[in-house]
Structure 1
Amino acid sequence: MAKIAFLGLGVMGYPMAGHLLAAGHEVTVYNRTSAKAEAWTSQHGGTWAATPRQATEGAEFVMACVGNDDDLRSVCLGDDGAFAGMSSGSVFVDHTTVSADVTIELHEIAQGHGVSFVDAPISGGQAGAENGVLSIMCGGEQAAYDRVEPLMEIYSKICRRIGNSGDGQKTKMCNQIAIAGLVQALSEALHFAEKEGLDGRAVVEVISQGAAGSWQMVNRHETMLDDHFAHGFAVDWMRKDLKICMEAADKSGASLPVTALVDQFYKDVQKLGGGRWDTSSLFKRMRETG
């Protein structure tokens, strides 16, 4: 069994770390708010540490799932950062959705410490983390990925190495681009159904079995119609991710007109007070403004 440190116990990291411990691994956790780390150990066992460095000392593998580029830098770097506590030959796995630029930056710094770095952003939401069925898209050296894949399989239904450092994050950008368009299209379909006096549930029962079907349609249409938007992945975080997508597109020359438009629709949701609503709240925007 492996000795693992897990940094970040949000709605995703909390259950992911629990799966690792339940599989028999030795897990030490760190969270910026220590009360969350104490609660995790009370529920699952294991141990918690006051700093990333203390959590990672002696660990073979370190997983991180924090908020953004700056959060990731803060847990990795400095005298109390993860890299300062990690031994040469250990592997750092980043499950945060961040820019490919910070991924490549930290990958290079980790190499200077003799540490391998795998970018491994996740998709599947809070339910996917709790049920251990996440999709994980990875970048980094093949040898490092091969070592850590068995651990990631504990909380995933699919885990793939896409390519070199940063390629996992670029794949996550593709994921968010696709989701943005799908949720807006579903919102428009449900909005149109309501305006035409149709039963939205009956409509989805039929169209979800054909070419229009999607995970979002099957899993979110009922809660959208019920005005329930508390499914974990907040609009604030989606706008952070879409900003990363559009900045990367500016550099590569990719055209993302629908993504840019939907990002502005999410801005409207924030103005409605929905920054912590989940991403399906695009439908609420249409109800409120349409």
Structure 2
Amino acid sequence: MAKVAFLGLGVMGYPMAGHLKAKGHDVTVYNRSPEKAQKWVAQHGGVYAPTPAQAAEGQEIVFACVGNDDDLRSVTTGEGGAFAAMGEGTVFVDHTTASANVARELDAAATAAGFGFIDAPVSGGQAGAENGVLTVMCGGDQATYSKVEPVIASFARMCRLMGPAGSGQLTKMVNQICIAGLVQGLSEGVHFAKRAGLDVEAMLEVISKGAAGSWQMENRGKTMNADKFDFGFAVDWMRKDLGIVLDEARRNHARLPVTALVDQFYADVQKLGGGRWDTSSLLKRLEP
């Protein structure tokens, strides 16, 4: 069992930290709004700390899952940040979906200070976090990764080291590229089926067992047909992620025409007032 801290108790971090405690780890939590951290402690036990540095002090591993690059810098190298309190040989594990650049930047800062850093974005959404079955894509060195892999297993069904610092974030970018195209294709398929007068649920049941089948079809097809989008991974978050993808593509000269187009389709959904709708709401821009 490990002494750990968890920084950021949003829709992902809250249940992830809960799984760590349930597995017997000694957990200290920090959240920007202290009420959420206090609620977590009341529910799970553990300890609340008022700053990232106080949460990180004396811990073997410090996990974080915050909003973006700036949030991540704030809880690591900002005033009261965790890095100032971390001891030699400890490890910082970042589950934020952020840029590869900030992962490399923080890895360099951690190395200079004598502790390890792993960028470890996740896939599986809120349900995956709540059920402890996330997929975790990691970047860093093998020795550091080996220290944290058994602890990450508390909330993951798949965890793999993809390469040096930044490789986890780059893998997550591929994940988001693939999801964007899949959701747009599924939206067009459902829309077409409705226009053609098909029984949409029967159609989804049949084609989901063939080559068109996907996680998105199995988990979002019926809710899309029922016009239900008030759950899941928000459009605003997806646009943040796709912005990171497209920035990286400009640097490495990858050609992503479908991803760029779907990003603009999500902008249309935001204009409809759907910034907090699930990403499957791409269907809404096709409906009259």
Partner secondary structure for residue 197 of structure 1: coil
Counterparts of 2:219 and 2:232, CA distance in 1: 14
Map of 2:209 onto structure 1: 209
Of 120-129 and 106-115, the range deviating more from structure 2: 106-115
TM-score, length basis structure 1 = 0.98
Map of 1:187 onto structure 2: 187
**Which amino acid is 1:156 matched to?**
A
Map of 2:93 onto structure 1: 93
Map of 1:276 onto structure 2: 276
2:18 aligned with 1:18: yes
- Cα deviations across residues 65-110 of structure 1 (Å, max 9, x unaligned)? 0000000000001340000111111000000000000110111111
Q: Is 1:11–1:232's contact at 8 Å kept on the other side of the alignment?
A: no
**Alpha-carbon shift at residue 111 of structure 1 (Å):** 1.1
Unaligned ranges ≥5, structure 2: none
Counterparts of 1:204 and 1:158, CA distance in 2: 27
Percent of paired sites with the same residue:
66
Partner secondary structure for residue 273 of structure 2: coil
Map of 1:218 onto structure 2: 218
- Cα deviations across residues 107-164 of structure 1 (Å, max 9, x unaligned)? 1111121110000000000000000000000000100000000011111110000000
Map of 1:151 onto structure 2: 151
Q: Is 1:7–1:30's contact at 8 Å kept on the other side of the alignment?
A: yes
Counterparts of 2:79 and 2:214, CA distance in 1: 46
Map of 1:75 onto structure 2: 75
Alignment of 1:220-239 (within 5 A): 220-239=220-239
Q: Is 1:187–1:283's contact at 8 Å kept on the other side of the alignment?
A: yes
Coordinate RMSD, CA, aligned: 0.7
Partner secondary structure for residue 154 of structure 1: coil
- Cα deviations across residues 192-224 of structure 1 (Å, max 9, x unaligned)? 000111111011111111100001001101111
Unaligned ranges ≥5, structure 1: none
Partner secondary structure for residue 5 of structure 1: strand
2:237 aligned with 1:241: no
Figure out how many residues of one structure are paired with residues of the other and give that number: 288
**Which amino acid is 2:49 matched to?**
A
